[in-house]
Amino acid sequence: MQVESPYQPWTIRQLLWFRFFLVFFSLYIFPFPLGHVPGLHILTQWYTRIWHAVVPWVGAQVLKLDEPITIFFSGSGDKTYDYVFLLIAFTCSLVAATLWTLLARQRRSHNQLLEVLRIYVRYYLGVMMLMYGMSKVFHLQMPSPSLLQLLQPLGDKSPMGLAWTYVGYSPAFSMFAGLSEVIGGMLLFFRRTTLLGALLVAIVMVNVMVMNFTFDIPVKLYATLLVLMAVFLIAPDTRRLLQVVLWNEATQPRRPYVFKLSRRWRIVALIVKIIFVGVIFGGDAYSSWRAVHTYGDRRPKPPLYGIFDVDRFVLRGDTLPPLTTDTKRWKQLILQSPDYVHVKLMNDSLVYYPSSWDEATHRLSIKGTQNGETVGMFTYKQSDTSELQLDGVLHKEGMVIHLRERDLQTFRLLNNRFRWIQEYPFNR
């Protein structure tokens, strides 16, 4: 949709495109920004409940899907629910745009409504860029490789896990990617910098979209829609950009629609804008700062942190040999969080246990994953030579476990640092 000047009559094609995107973006973006306004979360829940009723009904009654559509949060944006919702939004937008054009044949432009839609889209896109960008700046979305990942063979990683490790390895790269999103998002909040912000967001999000598709990251639909929103904001300036960049010709400034507001209302709008942008930016920064200290790189560590290899394992008084088929004997103990421990058994299967530590008595309490009841209790003793001994009971079985802490710098991924001068590439 290219509208060279907001005061010129639009073509039928422009009217159809605009009406389609008006309905489509409204269905997709709403109830934004109600979720950011205190006291309006009830409206957000009401709107969500409507779609939670409509989407499964369409899947069952119209599309005749073999399986019912389930409604749950899984971290994936590519669920069956999301595809059906997108189909409904697309169909409703196409039908609405066609009927609108047939019934309003005398209307030749929507200059004011276009500007309102652009404001709505750029604020939504800006908020999303700040949210995703801050999580990368604080190294949260793709964190540093965990101790478990250091032990995981490359061939066992999923494509998404490989992408997460690639970005998470370097906090500097994560911050660079995040700042690109934050800067692009901030530029979208101001009319004069909207084009620059949309161009930056489009470049960044195309890269994200391609990564999602090629590494099977289940945010393909959403990333594509964010790219579409950026392109929508760029579209009115496409001809001007081509004239300057491609055809090397002079161009005229595009005259955006100007709302006729009194000075008082302009001041009110400016104040509301400053408060909204400040709250969004400050809120995202503060929540990310708290998150990085809660579960990010700066989260609390357990009294014993690291990877411990089992040298000797005594179960009910018998020393078990290190057989690779044994499902009782421990191979490694991985301690990364004070809230849980991971045990790798001899057959390389992993067992997860919620846990708690008592540093005063040197006790490690192991809890069950189902009911949270205590299923084991160990006393621990670590020597200066990085040797560790656990003595206690797990699932009513007495255990004495001798372990040795592994030096994390033996992992090539951790001890290989940046070098300005390299005579040969170090590619392993």
CATH assignment of the domain containing 310: 2.40.128.270
Domain count, the chain: 2
CA-CA-CA-CA torsion sign (233, 29, 292, 140): negative
Predicted confidence at residue 35, as pLDDT, reads 79
Predicted confidence at residue 315, as pLDDT, reads 93
* Size of the chain, expressed as the number of residues it contains: 428
Q: Domain of residue 406: give its range.
A: 306-410
Q: Contact 343/308 with Cβ under 8 angstroms?
A: no
Digit-by-digit pLDDT tens for the chain (428 residues) are: 444 444 578 899 999 999 999 999 999 999 898 877 777 778 888 888 999 999 999 999 999 998 888 887 788 889 999 999 999 999 999 999 999 999 988 888 888 899 999 999 999 999 999 999 999 999 999 999 999 999 999 999 999 999 999 999 999 999 999 999 999 999 999 999 999 999 999 999 999 999 999 999 999 999 999 999 999 999 999 999 999 888 988 888 877 777 787 888 889 888 988 988 898 889 889 999 998 888 888 888 999 999 999 999 999 999 999 999 999 999 999 999 999 999 999 999 999 999 999 999 999 999 988 787 899 999 999 887 789 999 999 989 999 999 999 999 998 888 888 888 988 888 88
Residue 136 and residue 29 in one domain: yes
| Residue with token string 């709008």 | 269
| Domain closes at, from 266, 294, 322 | 294
Residue 162 lies in a domain: yes
Residue 274 and residue 334 in one domain: no
Residue 208 and residue 290 in one domain: yes
Residue 356 and residue 227 in one domain: no
Residue 80 and residue 36 in one domain: yes
* DSSP structural state of residue 191: G
Token reading at 360: 């005063």
Residue 274 and residue 338 in one domain: no
Residue 415 lies in a domain: no
Closest among 220, 219, 182 to 200, alpha carbons compared? 182
89 forms beta bridges with: none
- The amino acid at 87: L
Residue 190 and residue 50 in one domain: yes
400-404 contacts at long range (C-beta below 8 A, 24 or more positions apart): 400/312, 400/314, 401/310, 401/312, 401/313, 401/314, 401/330, 401/333, 402/310, 402/311, 402/312, 402/313, 403/308, 403/309, 403/310, 403/311, 403/333, 404/308, 404/309, 404/311
- The amino acid at 80: T
Token reading at 160: 């998404």
Closest among 70, 409, 123 to 273, alpha carbons compared? 123
| Domain closes at, from 294, 323, 355 | 294
Residue 256 and residue 331 in one domain: no
Q: Contact 104/10 with Cβ under 8 angstroms?
A: no
CA-CA-CA-CA torsion sign (106, 112, 113, 117): positive
Residue 102 and residue 250 in one domain: yes
| Domain closes at, from 267, 294, 321 | 294
Q: Contact 379/394 with Cβ under 8 angstroms?
A: no
CA dist 299 → 265, 266, 285, 296 (Å): 46, 45, 17, 5
- The amino acid at 162: L
Residue 426 lies in a domain: no
Q: Which residues of 17-45 are buried (b: 16+ CB within 10 A; e: fewer)?
A: bbbbbbbbbebbbeeebbeeeeeeeeebe
Residue 6 lies in a domain: no
Residue 427 lies in a domain: no
Predicted confidence at residue 7, as pLDDT, reads 59
Burial of 361 (0-12, 13-18, 19+ CB in 10 A): exposed
69 contacts: CB under 8 Å, gap ≥ 6 = 55, 56, 59, 60, 80, 81, 84
Residue 300 lies in a domain: no
Predicted confidence at residue 309, as pLDDT, reads 95
Predicted confidence at residue 415, as pLDDT, reads 86
Residue 350 lies in a domain: yes
H or E element, residue 144: none
CA-CA-CA-CA torsion sign (335, 337, 339, 340): negative
For the entire predicted model, the pTM comes to: 0.89
Residue 130 and residue 172 in one domain: yes
247 contacts: CB under 8 Å, gap ≥ 6 = none
Q: Contact 306/335 with Cβ under 8 angstroms?
A: yes
Residue 207 and residue 329 in one domain: no
Q: Contact 358/352 with Cβ under 8 angstroms?
A: no
Residue 284 and residue 318 in one domain: no
CA-CA-CA-CA torsion sign (28, 30, 31, 33): positive
CA distance 37 to 48: 16
Q: What is the DSSP string of 145-184?
A: PPHHHHHS-GGGS-HHHHHHHHHHT-HHHHHHHHHHHHHH
